[in-house]
Amino acid sequence: MTDCEICGKKATMKVNIDGVVLDVCDECANLGEPVSLSVTRSKRSIPEPEELSLYIDPDFQRIIRKAREKMGLNIKDLAREIKEKESIISRVESGKLKPTIDLARKLEKFLRIKLLLRDE
């Protein structure tokens, strides 16, 4: 199996967390609902070739929080503006959840920040 997409430990299962299917460890599994292999295949999108060389800035939570506060927004306002669940934004800002490429792009655009970096 792969690494847990939340904490980095060894992933043991796939769960659906707010509509996103992730490989997770036993500890992080309680954050979502277990999914079957058939659901995983139909819901998970195939990354674009350019996405394969992208990674999220390791300091993403500080970058996001600082930009949000600079704009005078609370987490609820930011979530509403980018059409995401408040719980997702809260978990991302606390470092409990790494943003997906799509979420990182939304945050970059709205907050005018840089989260996505390329492997060189």
Q: In which domain, by residue range, is 12 found?
A: 1-44
Residue 61 and residue 102 in one domain: yes
Degrees, nearest 5: CA angle 14-88-107: 115
Residue 83 and residue 105 in one domain: yes
**Per-residue confidence at 108, pLDDT binned at 50, 70, 90?**
very high
3-state secondary structure of 72: coil
Each residue of 9-33: pLDDT tens digit? 998 889 888 778 888 898 988 888 8
pLDDT of 19 reads 79
pLDDT for 47 beyond 90: no
Residue 34 and residue 71 in one domain: no
Extract the runs of DSSP E, i.e. beta strands, from 1-118: 13-17, 20-24, 33-34, 54-56, 116-118
- Count: domains in the chain: 2
Give the CATH number for residue 111: 1.10.260.40
